[in-house]
Amino acid sequence: MQIADSKIMNAQFATLSAKYSEQAFLYSLVDLRDVDPLLQTHVRKCIATLQEATSVWSELETQERVIKKYFDDAAAVGAVFGAAGSDGDNPLADAVGGALIFTLAAAAEQQEELENFQHHYQYQQERIDTMLQVDHKERQTLADQLSAKYKTPFLLAF
């Protein structure tokens, strides 16, 4: 498990869903044969939590990309309309002007969409954060239990 943890700690991920997915995958590779049942249960619970976090964050990231793409598309459409409506003297400036007008029009709508999005998914984010915090606290409790049971210090760093 320490190898999996060090890989996660030293890696950089583009998204939280990628991080949680990799962490769940690496934990699933840990051989739990002949391992204390308390630790087996905890690792399995961590994997389930990380898989759920992956699913939730993947959905959030996808929705956020859709909202941002709409904004980017508005600028592109505005540039096309600006260039198409150009009087021919300076089509580049007209394209930039069109992009600016469409971008400004889309900005207010994008902000509203992002606020609705954040409000809609706030509960799921908080629930996942709570689950991850519970796993972290249980990890310390488990380390203490295993240390007492086997009379040797256990450090569960993941």
Mean pLDDT by runs of 10 across the 158 residues of the chain is 65 88 91 92 95 94 86 82 81 85 82 85 92 92 92 76
Could you tell me if 20 and 58 are in contact, meaning their C-beta atoms sit under 8 angstroms apart?
no
pLDDT number for residue 54: 96
- Cα distances (angstroms) measured from residue 13 to each of 9, 17, 67, 149: 10, 9, 21, 37
* pTM listed for this prediction: 0.72
